[in-house]
Structure 1
Amino acid sequence: MGVEIVGLGKCLPEKVVTNDDISDLVDTDHTWIIERTGIEQRHIAAGESGTDLACKAAEEALGNIDRDSIGLVLVATVTPDAMVPVTSAQVKMRLGLDHAVAFDINAACSGFMYGIWCAEALMKNGAAPGAGTMNIQRALVIGAERLSRITNWKERSSCILFGDGAGAAVLENNPKRPGILATYLKNYDDQKGVLTCGKEYHQTPFYKDENQPQHLALRGKAVFKFAVNSIEEVTMEALKQAGLELDDIDWFVPHQANGRIMEAAAKRLNQPIEKFQISINKSANVSSASIPMALYDLSKTGKMEKGDKIAVMGFGGGLCAAAAIIEW
């Protein structure tokens, strides 16, 4: 039994923030940003909530699919609108997905990949609670972020990188289609704190917690090295599981973290950059939303054909990385 992607959706906030706009905030310019990241602009939520973005992306992914057939809603995010209720529960309620079980996960920029892995496992091996013995026929997996809320807009090397948005995919059990051929996940210990974001809690009358600024912080060179190495490792392991070689892959869809990282990954894998979907120029790094958004962009080019093999690769804080091989 295969699990395939049958619907994709994407939502970006209306407000566009250009590199020139960023240069009004910190000492930088358009050329400096382009050369180091490949980013021309990013979208920033000025009125939309994370749940708004998630719902709009989900609605497009669902299209005319029967909403009663959705048995699972899974949202990957590091920037939920609230701790309770979780974003997936809000999406379920707003979209009237009455038969779905909903939960959120946080695996940083690999979140969508971890979500796909969870959804596939539940669809193949688990039943939906409250649904008797009925298996989950379809699942909705969303990556949704408002990274602008945890970006340090005074820190030049990081504030240029991030944006807001959401991407969604509908997965379906289909015994006649291969769909997801293999998935490989790996966690690495971040012993040096190369990619972190604190959490600001209220102080209690019993203990004074150490102040943890709720800003994304990264050590660029270390993140770059980790990203390129982990992309190679998880991609090769997923290919091994699928019984395929690199040259069998028609398209690569990596997490859109930095243009230089994708170029370096292409060289490491000895693959032409033309096989890599590059979306970062218009939307920047949107963490867990970047992969479904890039996959959506690739689908809209009309280049993908039925039967194409796609390698989808994520990496992020934790540290964590994941890859999936999908037959379109």
Structure 2
Amino acid sequence: MAQSVQTTTILEQKEEKTVTLLVPQAGKRKFEFVYQNLITFAYWHIAGLYGLYLCFTSAKWATIVFSFILFVIAEIGITAGAHRLWSHKSYKVKLPLEILLMVMNSIAFQNTVIDWVRDHRLHHKYSDTDADPHNASRGFFYSHIGWLFVRKHPEVKKRGKELDMSDIYNNPVLRFQRKYAVPFIGAVCFGLPTLIPVYCWGESWTNAWHITMLRYIMNLNATFLVNSAAHIYGKRPYDKKILPAQNIGVSIATFGEGFHNYHHVFPWDYRAAELGNNSLNLTTKFIDFFAWIGWAYDLKTVSKEMIKQRSKRTGDGTNLWGLEDKDTPENLKNIKGE
């Protein structure tokens, strides 16, 4: 039976501090490479690019469509699951949806949710410092994928031990995923997506495997763009002093995760964007659908007035998405007395 969507508007800003770490600048840190990761990622990308070639030469349309559907499902497993639900607790879910999101997240295979959440909470608490696993102040390549090729900075390890992860460690659904990570994630991310095209519509093994690799690296790089491009390119209408920015291209690729300046200022908003239910935010629509049928509830939002006031106080004066026309950059400058 359908239920009305329940939302909670946060009237006062929560305390989610961004800590600046003062690290001695005696010299550049020498990176210690993880060669296993280098080889694995190289293979995934070469195989995926070959899969792209096969899409234009010999693959069946059913295989391509199937892989795109899996791309969408997997990406939402990251955005609605690992990110908005488990990392930020911006909404709550009933057990059937939690299990569904865990399976969707496993199709994406970006480590287990427990590891993903630990890294992401560090990222928000120590954003773009040495304790941030994918510190964007080290450049695009490092924040996009390079951080996975080297050993973690000592500050990441140190601060990671101080995080409160009790809600995640005590979650039986996430404990199951971690306990059976190799067989379960291996099956839903790589095994079944390869077997289904072969046995259901006669795709070749070569095509099925390499197009699975293509889908997989597309999921990886779409998510990685939030750490890299959305921390470098774009406007900062809510806090001009931080690196996260509003990036429309990233929002398209990740179904709503690219409104990143907003998200770092208001990380508890389940929409992760000031536009809320717009055409770029498929993740929000997904959550809203399950709120409508009663599987998601206590959706946290931010009041429109708080959004406007924060932008006026600390933003860069660029356009305020979704707000009145009177809130133009020129009017904001007048309000600020510039």
Query: Normalising to structure 1: TM-score of the pair?
Result: 0.24
Give the helix-richer structure, 1 or 2: 2
Give the strand-richer structure, 1 or 2: 1
* Structure of greater Rg: 2
